Amino acid sequence: MRADPIVIIGGGESATCAIAGLRSEGYRGPVVWVCEEDIHAYERPTLSKQFLGSSHARPSSVIPPELLDDPAIDIRLDTRATHLDAANRLVTLGTSERIAYSGLLLATGAEARDLDLPGRNSDRWLTLRRAGDAARLRPYLNGQSRIVIVGAGLIGLELAAAARMAGAQVTVIESQDRPLARVLPPAIAEIALARHRAMGVAFRFGTTIASVESGPTGERLLLSSGAEITADLVPVAIGSIPRTELAEAAGLAIANGVVVDAQLRTSQAGIWASGDCCAFPLDGRLVRLESWEAARQLGEIAGRNMAGRALPTDIVPWFWSDQYDLGIQGLGLPPDGATLVHRVIDPESALSFALCPAGRLRAVHGIGPETSIAKHIKRARPLIRDGAVCDPAILQDADQPLWAAFPPLAVAS
Amino acid sequence: MSNELTWHQACNSDDVDLEDVLGVTIAGNRVAIYRSPDDRFYATEGLCTHEQVKLEDGLVMDDIIECPKHNGRFNYRTGEARGAPACINLRTMPTKVEDGVVYVGLANAG
Ligand SMILES: Cc1cc2nc3c(=O)[nH]c(=O)nc-3n(C[C@H](O)[C@H](O)[C@H](O)COP(=O)(O)OP(=O)(O)OC[C@H]3O[C@@H](n4cnc5c(N)ncnc54)[C@H](O)[C@@H]3O)c2cc1C
């Protein structure tokens, strides 16, 4: 009898790496790979960056050719998994096809959170998650457009940069009193903000949209501050919601994501989860990340574990963002109550270190032209992993070599 | 392609620290010059094959260069892509050091 296949649900980076992980551990059996989108897994981060300004019809694929050519991998595009029966190990695709699985991975990612305001004309509003969303945005990237972006997070500000560079008039509305509050320390976010302002982006902080009136010349937005703005397009970039509907209906534990253990196993035998849809234990907390590298790393670990390994998810989370020619990177998760130590390299370049009370390095964030701060971030990786203790006085003094702040033993280990 | 090489002056040998990398432009091409822990010089094309990022901002560890952007890894001695997301190898070029000057050999067009 033929073994039941492993079923992978979701066609993003995490799913792709999971299948590569399965194969790397020698699993040669059948795989059914189910993806709702109608194109092969692609580079999602580019949707708010280079892809917007390019003329490419679709973003680059991320699937290694050996997986595409593998006859035992049955790729179902444009197909949604609609029901999961965990007790009987059955998954339903589309309206009727039922497949028995030997193991199943949920790599369903996340969807953009929207603002469903009454009275809006949906043709002039969008969220950015899929290639088709970016295609809708492109025609507005020109000098005639008035674009009002809701949300000053990473995606909102990347969009602001792309739209300004294309000549559009750009306003960003943010309910908090500063940009990038969830992801960056203030000193790093301020450098990005200063650049956006210098490029002519207008900001309205501490403000929300109170109501909308659609008219022939655009969307009239009445703000909570009392001000009014008219927009040709309103991209909403206010975060994402994990795609947990399948898991939830199947009775799996959920807590802002599909809950998994350190080996990425869900609360049901035979089901794993990875990527943006999962909440996994890290530093004693249950966290859900929305970052490309983690989606890839967790996918690979899940795939290898599904093939019989028991690898723990000991990752150090990392992300990057590009705005104009400024590159931002963050590594590690700052603990609650972290002490922030700031190191100014030059007016547009700085690093911010998050130390736990005992002085151990837990996270570093940086900004600078292009990839100029990358080396510092990379050198911090083993230090964060080891919880190296550092000297804040040296860290913040740009006249002293950075790594003198750490004892030589920590650097060597 | 002709296999004639032209040697181009790239940098001084002490412009590059041990186990580090420097970016230079030679005949309009970005080239990354590496100095290995055992004090030899290597050269590869200067932009990552994944997203055209400058490798000179990356980190050299032993015989590996890690791309500054997406952490793709290459062996800079051979150009071999060694870690996702990089899957296309880097082109390598021969080097020589004379009187403290590093030269890179580029194939003549034609
Ligand atoms: C515009 C944008 C810019 C970004 N930029 C950056 C960046 O600069 N740096 C960074 O680190 N991260 C960035 N990210 C985040 C990064 O792209 C994500 O972390 C990553 O794509 C998550 O991968 P994933 O495979 O977990 O999920 P996803 O990429 O979301 O893929 C999940 C897939 O599963 C499909 N799916 C869901 N449910 C079902 C179902 N029931 N049946 C079938 N298919 C289903 C979805 O349609 C989707 O195709 C960005 C994200 C966006 C949207």
> SS3 for chain A, per residue?
CCCCCEEEECCCHHHHHHHHHHHHCCCCCCEEEECCCCCCCECCHHHHCHHHHCCCCCCCECCCHHHHCCCCEEEECCCCEEEEECCCCEEEECCCEEEECCEEEECCCEEECCCCCCCCCHHHEEECCCHHHHHHHHHHCCCCCEEEEECCCHHHHHHHHHHHHCCCEEEEEECCCCCCCCCCCHHHHHHHHHHHHHCCCEEEECCCEEEEEEECCEEEEEECCCCEEEECEEEECCCEEECCHHHHHCCCCECCCEECCCCCECCCCCEEECHHHEEEEECCEEECCCCHHHHHHHHHHHHHHHCCCCCCCCCCCEEEEEECCEEEEEEECCCCCCEEEEEEEECCEEEEEEECCCCEEEEEEEEEECCCCHHHHHHHHHHHHHCCECCHHHHCCCCCCHHHHCCHHHHHC
Q: Whose CA is nearest to atom 30 of ligand 1?
A: A109
Q: How far is the CA of A92 from the centre of ligand 1 (A)?
A: 22
pLDDT at A99 over 60: yes
Average pLDDT over residues A145-165: 98
Does A309 contact chain B (CB < 8 Å)?
no
Round to whole Å and give the CA distance between B45 and B32.
Answer: 6
Asked if residues A5 and A34 have their Cβ atoms less than 8 Å apart, the reply is no
What ipTM describes this predicted complex?
0.83
Residue A1, pLDDT score? 57
Average pLDDT, chain A: 95
Structure tokens at A162: 């792309």
Round to whole Å and give the CA distance between A128 and A235.
Answer: 7
Per-residue DSSP letter, B49: T
Residue A413, pLDDT score? 39
Contacts of B85 in chain A (CB under 8 A): 62, 296
CB-defined contacts A:B, below 8 A: 38
Average pLDDT over residues A268-274: 98
Average pLDDT over residues A291-318: 97
Give the whole-number percent of chain A exceeding pLDDT 70: 99
pLDDT at A308 over 80: yes
Residue B48, pLDDT score? 84
Does A372 contact chain B (CB < 8 Å)?
yes
Least confident of A43-47, A129-133, A365-369, B48-52: B48-52
Round to whole Å and give the CA distance between A296 and A313.
Answer: 12
Nearest to A247 by CA among A213, A229, A270: A270
Q: Whose CA is nearest to atom 27 of ligand 1?
A: A109
Round to whole Å and give the CA distance between A87 and A141.
Answer: 50
Q: Where are the beta strands (DSSP E) in chain B?
A: 5-12, 20-26, 29-35, 41-45, 59-61, 64-66, 73-75, 81-83, 92-93, 95-98, 101-107
Q: Assign B49 a pLDDT band (cuts: 50, 70, 90).
A: confident
Residue of A301, A364, A371, A377 to mutate, testing the B interface (most B Cβ within 10 Å of its Cβ): A371
Per-residue DSSP letter, B47: B
Average pLDDT over residues A92-113: 97
CA–CA min distance B72, chain A (Å): 11
Contacts of A376 in chain B (CB under 8 A): none
Q: Whose CA is nearest to atom 34 of ligand 1?
A: A10
Contacts of B66 in chain A (CB under 8 A): 378
Residue B2, pLDDT score? 53
Q: What is the pLDDT of residues A74-86, one digit of tens each?
A: 999 999 999 999 9
pLDDT at A411 over 50: no
Q: What is the pLDDT of residues A176-214, one digit of tens each?
A: 999 999 999 999 999 999 999 999 999 999 999 999 999
Q: How far is the CA of B95 from the centre of ligand 1 (A)?
A: 43
Contacts of B59 in chain A (CB under 8 A): 374-375, 378-379
Asked if residues A332 and A354 have their Cβ atoms less than 8 Å apart, the reply is yes
Q: How far is the CA of A276 from the centre of ligand 1 (A)?
A: 7
Contacts of A371 in chain B (CB under 8 A): 53-54, 57-58, 68-69
Does B66 contact chain A (CB < 8 Å)?
yes
Q: Which domains, from first to last, does chain B contain?
A: 5-107 (2.102.10.10)
Q: What is the pLDDT of residues B81-91, one digit of tens each?
A: 987 777 789 99
A318 and B58 within 8 Å at the Cβ level: the answer is no
Residue A327, pLDDT score? 97
A370 and B57 within 8 Å at the Cβ level: the answer is yes
Q: Assign B4 a pLDDT band (cuts: 50, 70, 90).
A: confident
Beta sheet of A326-332, edge-to-edge order: A318-323, A326-332, A361-369, A349-355, A339-346
Q: What is the pLDDT of residues A219-258, one digit of tens each?
A: 999 999 999 999 999 999 999 999 999 999 999 999 999 9
Mutate to test the pocket of ligand 1, among A292, A313, A322 (most ligand atoms within 8 A of CB): A292
Structure tokens at A89: 């190990």
Q: How far is the CA of A113 from the centre of ligand 1 (A)?
A: 13
Who among A64, A293, A371 is closest to B57 (CB)? A371
Does A54 contact chain B (CB < 8 Å)?
no
Residue B86, pLDDT score? 75
pLDDT at A71 over 50: yes
Does B68 contact chain A (CB < 8 Å)?
yes
Taking only residues 176 to 195 of chain A, the set having a beta carbon closer than 8 angstroms to any beta carbon of chain B reads none
Nearest to B97 by CA among B3, B5, B10, B19: B10
Q: Assign A175 a pLDDT band (cuts: 50, 70, 90).
A: very high
Round to whole Å and give the CA distance between A193 and A177.
Answer: 12
Does B64 contact chain A (CB < 8 Å)?
no
Beta sheet of A6-9, edge-to-edge order: A73-76, A31-34, A6-9, A103-106, A271-273
Omega before A30 cis (within 30°)? no
Q: Whose CA is nearest to atom 35 of ligand 1?
A: A10
Average pLDDT over residues A20-34: 97
Round to whole Å and give the CA distance between A258 and A242.
Answer: 8
| Residue A97 Cα distances to A19, A79, A265, angstroms | 22, 11, 25
Does B46 contact chain A (CB < 8 Å)?
no
Q: What is the pLDDT of residues A122-133, one digit of tens each?
A: 999 999 999 999
A37 lines ligand 1 (CB under 6 A): yes
